[in-house]
Structure 1
Amino acid sequence: MADGSCKNKEETGKNIKCLVWDIDNTLWNGILSEDKQVTLRKGVVEVIKTLDERGILQSIASKNNYEDTMEKLKEFNLDEYFIYPQINWNAKSHSIKKIAQLINIGIDTLAFIDDQPAERDEVRFVLPQVSCIDAGCLGTILDMPELNPRFITEDSKLRRSMYQNDILRKNKEESFSGTQEEFLASLEMVLTISSAQEGDLERAEELTVRTHQLNSTGYTYSLEALRTLQESSNHKLLIAGLEDTYGIYGKIGLALVECKEDEWVLKLLLMSCRVMSRGVGTIMLNHIMREAKAANKKLKAEFIPTDRNRMMYITYKFAGFKEMHKDGDMVIFENDLLNIPPYPDYIELIFRQEATNLAF
């Protein structure tokens, strides 16, 4: 994605979660403040809609008047495709950093497209983790490996609407006058935990690739590896889905348990960052603890610290897991299963051995 060339580079394994657009002479031809009759660049609508279908979020970092820009985007029927647009006179790097914070994704999962070398250089200097794209590469952008996820799942296709629902939830929470638990109860959440089925495996791989903050080991698993584990009599592969009054969150959690003769080992626990404040990780962990106790097995868990997953360490500690020893970078936890807390009242729980029939 370096300037001066639009040729596809060798795939680095980097996955872009959000493409941030400049507007003038990037999304449309011309400068809006100078000419109200700007026209869309050739092929830009196809790019925007295709990326949206792939599950890649899109936003805006533009030095422009907010009202005029949004009015023009509405005129082109494109305003709905951009979440948390930053249309102001701040540095582009400042706007991009704010977008990452609002979406709650790593800055290294963003790309920025702009026609001005100086703007790209400013972003590159302040935020070297952000991939910068010359607007002249618009014609080949859909071929870039970083913008081509391996799978397009049902969650991918609904990702933008899920984030738009999250914005509605945040607005509701900010104006809510009760306690946090009362707010969560008002959402009427339903959490479904089920054994992963064949139709869940693409999303399961996507979760391991996309989830970093709430991932107990940082490991990724291929579709083939997950299928082997799903079919294994010595493993439990659990997937969680969530919905509430605002709509569906999709499949947002994954757990892998190795079932040994005298103990269970939680090899992986991860949650989408979108449900960080919903307590879902703790609930899923609680469920596994109850299952292990019912099976009369010891329960251990593996944890590998990364630069992002401190919250998972805290989740294990709050759930009563104690550090037993270390194996290289890996921490081995164990829970005595003597004091398993009750499930919270603010959420309805459904446990299934078969695939959920909720439309995720």
Structure 2
Amino acid sequence: MSQAKKKEKKIKCVVWDLDHTLWNGVLLEDRNVQLREGLLEIIKELDNRGILQSIASKNEHNTTMAKLEEFGIAEYFLYPHINWNSKSSSIKNIVTSLNIGMDTIAFVDDQPFEREEVSFELPDVFCWDAADVHAMLDLPEMTPTFITEDSKKRRHMYMSDIERQKVEEEFTGPQEEFLASLEMVLKISKVGSDDLQRAEELTVRTNQLNTTGYTYSYEELDALRQSDQHKLMIVELQDKYGEYGKIGLVLIECGEQDWKIKLLLMSCRVMSRGVGSILMNHILQLAHQHNVRLLAEFVKTDRNRMMYVSYKFAGFKEVEENGDHVLFEADLSRVQPFPDYVKVHVLD
């Protein structure tokens, strides 16, 4: 089985210019601009595929938002930046707000100067000429292997996140009190046949909170979930604001004496919810119950240091190091009960 496959870069967010790109004409010169033919269908199809969308436009904010509302498409764009700043600075802010990688952004603009400015400042961004926008849906970067239920709901889940963030910013008590106020329910279960598409999607899409970066195909995951030598678990989270969806995946290779965590990943949207610690503690509990030594593989990248810190914080110690590859061993005396601020359901 090829576990260390190179990730195929997929676009997670399309950032649109507006004048002569999303619509014909210049809004400040003509308030009666019209959407370009076929653009509404492209916007809706990107949304259906789970590809987020935003705006980087040099325009007057209120007038522009009113026009987007008039077209009935304002809700499709998360964290729109409509101002007179450079397009690259707007894209930086969008990436920070969405907490995704710069190399997962596509920028669509009709002006060569704007695309060149972005390419120079942000070389990882995929720039696309608005004249060729109708071919965009056929690009492999825009074509997920599967369109899952989580994909279809991705924008709505991010919109719930925006609501949570507003509440969190206004909350003045301790962090644990805020987390308790969310009424979170975490479910950890074996991967079933209905989970396989989302499980594959998670291995491909998740970069930051990913311990190894290994990707697995649908077929490989199906074999692993049925293997007596492996445990394959998926994690779901919800709270009073709605669903986060299936946001975590764990693969453990189970020997008689030793268990080894081959993959542990989580969506960046749950970074501040304590899910990583809960999940690691569940694995520690399982290993303790089975009286086995617990090891964990880790492959260093330029983006997953948070997971390295998470292992260290959970009491894992480095026992081997070979370049970017690290082997950790857990201290099973560090097993803790689950925190009170979340209800955890473990389903066998």
TM-score grouping bracket, smaller chain normalisation: over 0.9
User: Aligned equivalents of 1:28 and 1:336: distance in 2?
Assistant: 59
User: Aligned equivalents of 1:308 and 1:336: distance in 2?
Assistant: 26
**1:348 aligned partner:** 343
Provide the aligned C-alpha RMSD in A.
0.9
**1:312 aligned partner:** 307
Out of 80, 88, 95, the position equivalent to 1:85 is: 80
1:30-82 per-residue CA deviation (whole Å, 9 max, x = no partner) reads: 10000000001000000000000000000000000110010000000000000
What is the CA distance between 1:328 and its match in structure 2?
A: 4.5
User: Aligned equivalents of 1:14 and 1:58: distance in 2?
Assistant: 17
**1:98 aligned partner:** 93
User: Aligned equivalents of 2:346 and 2:336: distance in 1?
Assistant: 17
Matched, 1:70 2:60: no
**2:190 aligned partner:** 195
**2:296 aligned partner:** 301
Aligned letter for 2:241? Answer: Y
**1:283 aligned partner:** 278
**1:19 aligned partner:** 14
What is the CA distance between 1:259 and its match in structure 2?
A: 0.5
3-state SS of 2:221 partner: helix
Q: TM-score normalised to the size of structure 1?
A: 0.94
What is the CA distance between 1:341 and its match in structure 2?
A: 2.1
**2:161 aligned partner:** 166
Matched, 1:267 2:262: yes
**1:154 aligned partner:** 149
1:155-188 per-residue CA deviation (whole Å, 9 max, x = no partner) reads: 0000000000000000000001111111110000
**1:358 aligned partner:** none
3-state SS of 1:83 partner: coil
1:188-237 per-residue CA deviation (whole Å, 9 max, x = no partner) reads: 00000000001101101110111111000111111111111111010000
User: Aligned equivalents of 1:327 and 1:292: distance in 2?
Assistant: 25
User: Aligned equivalents of 2:265 and 2:259: distance in 1?
Assistant: 17
User: Aligned equivalents of 1:211 and 1:290: distance in 2?
Assistant: 25
User: Aligned equivalents of 1:330 and 1:136: distance in 2?
Assistant: 45
Q: TM-score normalised to the size of structure 2?
A: 0.97
**1:214 aligned partner:** 209
Q: Which runs of 5+ in 1 are unaligned?
A: 1-11, 354-360
3-state SS of 1:293 partner: helix
User: Aligned equivalents of 2:262 and 2:142: distance in 1?
Assistant: 30
What is the CA distance between 1:326 and its match in structure 2?
A: 1.9
**1:5 aligned partner:** none
Q: Which runs of 4+ in 1 moved over 6 A?
A: none
User: Aligned equivalents of 2:238 and 2:134: distance in 1?
Assistant: 38
1:117-149 per-residue CA deviation (whole Å, 9 max, x = no partner) reads: 111010011001000000001221111111111
1:284-334 per-residue CA deviation (whole Å, 9 max, x = no partner) reads: 110011011111111111111110010101111111111111245321111
User: Aligned equivalents of 2:258 and 2:311: distance in 1?
Assistant: 17
Matches for 1:20-35 after TM superposition, within 5 Å: 20-35=15-30
Most deviating of 18-27 and 337-346: 337-346
Q: Which runs of 5+ in 2 are unaligned?
A: 1-6
User: Aligned equivalents of 2:164 and 2:121: distance in 1?
Assistant: 32
Most deviating of 334-343 and 166-175: 334-343
User: Aligned equivalents of 2:8 and 2:316: distance in 1?
Assistant: 33
User: Aligned equivalents of 2:43 and 2:334: distance in 1?
Assistant: 51
User: Aligned equivalents of 2:288 and 2:335: distance in 1?
Assistant: 9
User: Aligned equivalents of 2:227 and 2:235: distance in 1?
Assistant: 19
**2:53 aligned partner:** 58
**2:118 aligned partner:** 123
3-state SS of 1:338 partner: helix
